[in-house]
Structure 1
């Protein structure tokens, strides 16, 4: 999501790693978020969630809502009191909507980019957001953007379902800044590729130990100590080293 609105990520989204996701927009009704997720968890279809939430809301004319369930088409709603341009589009597994946009081309650009994108969901969502931004985005200007992705057990330490939760709350160009944060998220929190890991033996083990010593870390736990301080603990594998971590260690000791 992106908007000329402070901290848009604090108001718009809610997600359940299994059941689906909600976006409440325009005059956002934050009660839609827990209520909608509860309905999705019972197996209620996305379109029926939209119908149920808006039917019970006396201010529905000013609301905008997007819902995606565990499968099937997403659903979108735009009240006739939303500020122009306002509207949305849906398809298999997605719902896109916006208000006070530069025009319908914003939503269509997002749809095209999302369908054309490949890779992890976070990257496909970001591709859509970038396309909408480049097509004009919020006609009032730019202020904030956010990205929220859930997957079972994908959170920090495997102890939550929140895979990505990034927010740019107040920035002159928030979507590119969000992309920068996503790159950092991958660096710090992605699990290493097992096929890329290097064995900590021979010359490589000697090099790593030497570089760690130059940074003040010695002993059997030297790598873990340094990695914990630098926030690379999610990339640690006993007896091996992630090439990305090795690259960061080498960079840290270039002038040490």
Structure 2
């Protein structure tokens, strides 16, 4: 009742999982990843021990394919399991037990594995094409493109409920203290993939570094736009400069990562103010 994709970016050294299911809080069950080691999606009567066990096997030198063989070897319910793995070298493997409910299957490609069960046929192939066609984009964007393509192709034949995106990289977490570069979940929603994409865009706005092309001096039309929005949002008042009002807005709304040198503003923040 789930479809997923595990992927690897050899340039940025990122590993990730994206998944959707007619199941509550799929992000608490399917994805598992460790920076420098690999990523795992475990589903269809999921054995959540597959995640940490797979990391141990890979760290001991096993490939993704060898890891799956070891995982299912001692699992009496292997015929009901489904798992996809990308290891620390980008090798990909997928397994679908014989008792997984139709349609069930998976496929692998360069640095990724896609798998799913109780699907509309064609879902897995559409996901693989979307991931491949998005080559050159950040891993998170490629994983979400695959997830969206899977849903557009039919996805889980029972419907939608939850979705999740996990991407890890060394010191990629908040403040650099862990490897959770992106860890987003939609636990119960009528259109969870669309909602996951929306939350991801917000995540990028809050935490991704500002792009040089969006940095503008606060003058002319930019100053007029910014002033209008700071007044509308209640931050620009008598006795407060536009720079002080902007700083108050950024710190109140958790946009510290977008704060610029005095006299400059990130226009992506201004555009967000206009939308909200």
- TM-score normalised according to structure 2 size: 0.81
Separation (CA, whole Å) in 2 of partners of 1:129 and 1:88? 14
Report the Cα offset of residue 237 of structure 1: 3.3
Q: Secondary structure at the match of 2:156?
A: coil
1:99 counterpart (105, 113, 117): 117
RMSD: 2.7
Question: Paired residue for 2:53?
Answer: 35
Structure 1 residue runs of 5 or longer lacking an equivalent are none
Question: Paired residue for 2:13?
Answer: none
C-alpha distance 215-225 of structure 1, shift in aligned 2 (>3 A): farther
C-alpha distance 199-43 of structure 1, shift in aligned 2 (>3 A): farther
- 1:148 and 2:166 correspond: yes
| Contact persistence 2:214–2:268 (CA under 8 A) | no
| Contact persistence 1:209–1:218 (CA under 8 A) | no
| Contact persistence 1:71–1:92 (CA under 8 A) | no
Task: Name whichever of 235-244 and 126-135 sits farther off.
Answer: 235-244
Separation (CA, whole Å) in 2 of partners of 1:114 and 1:175? 15
Question: Paired residue for 2:23?
Answer: 5
C-alpha distance 221-38 of structure 1, shift in aligned 2 (>3 A): farther
- 1:73 and 2:96 correspond: no
Question: Paired residue for 1:243?
Answer: 267
Separation (CA, whole Å) in 2 of partners of 1:217 and 1:160? 39
Report the Cα offset of residue 161 of structure 1: 2.1
Residues 217-240 of structure 1, C-alpha deviations (whole Å, 9 max, x = no match)? 669865443212111112223434
Question: Equivalences for 1:28-177 in 2 at 5 Å?
Answer: 28-103=46-121, 105-118=122-135, 119-177=137-195
Separation (CA, whole Å) in 2 of partners of 1:110 and 1:17? 24
Report the Cα offset of residue 216 of structure 1: 8.7
- TM-score normalised according to structure 1 size: 0.86
C-alpha distance 238-7 of structure 1, shift in aligned 2 (>3 A): same
2:252 counterpart (207, 229, 232): 229
Separation (CA, whole Å) in 1 of partners of 2:190 and 2:225? 43
Task: Name whichever of 239-248 and 56-65 sits farther off.
Answer: 239-248
Report the Cα offset of residue 204 of structure 1: 6.7
Task: Name whichever of 39-48 and 75-84 sits farther off.
Answer: 39-48
Separation (CA, whole Å) in 2 of partners of 1:228 and 1:208? 16
Question: Paired residue for 1:14?
Answer: 32
Separation (CA, whole Å) in 1 of partners of 2:239 and 2:66? 60
